[in-house]
Structure 1
């Protein structure tokens, strides 16, 4: 599977809508798009993961790097729309405790 990244911008807010899989093969593409956005002070980066069917540890590493970059550069990173499967990976690794994850999981009643 491939990874598609659609980017929308309103002022300093960037929304990345991801579709497909984030793994060792596709993670560099995500890093190339997302990391520069977190490096600019004041940017708000929102990543919509509702279209992600699979993510491995390489993908998690990209999000950890983006989180560190956003904190170092006074920008903001927010994740939304996780499927139950993807959210479980973030929970197991403890990333739900340190990342800004919008409540409400795709496929879950609110």
Structure 2
């Protein structure tokens, strides 16, 4: 199943559904220019009734504070809809940005989209987010 993404010239946010998860592919620099496109895609998908998301950062070469702010903002929106969020990211530089922002322990990180969607959405919603994961 595939969805039409949000796009501007030469940049897009692609989305598809796998095993009950809506995968949002963020394959560009997650910065002041691209972060609003990712946010708009998630907001649109929430309005369509989607609740369980995987944010795919495996193809993202860069993440800055605007990107982190966008991820926190979409997490809050997903939480209000009783949804869940996993992050697929295998880049230690990007994971370090989450650590510097104090967000590494409060998200569910997976090395790949395949690992993030391996189990269908369950009871790991965001009702008590931000909680520290062990």
TM-score by length of 2: 0.66
**Post-superposition shift, 1:69?**
1.3
Number of the residue aligned with 1:30 = 38
Unmatched 5+ stretches in structure 2: 1-9, 113-134
Superposed CA RMSD: 2.3
Structure with the bigger percentage of strand: 1
Task: Identify the range of structure 1 (57-66 vs 31-40) with the bigger mean alpha-carbon deviation.
Answer: 31-40
The aligned counterpart of 2:28 is: 20
Alignment partner of 1:65 is 2:78? no
- 1:48 Cα deviation after fit: 1.2
Output aligned runs, 1:51-90, within 5 Å.
51-90=59-98
- For the residues of structure 2 that align with 1:57 and 1:42, how far apart are their CA atoms? 26
Which residue is 1:99 aligned to?
Answer: 107
Query: SS of 2:58's equivalent?
Result: strand
- TM-score normalised by structure 1 residue count: 0.79
> How many residues are treated as equivalent by the alignment?
103
Which structure has the larger Rg?
2
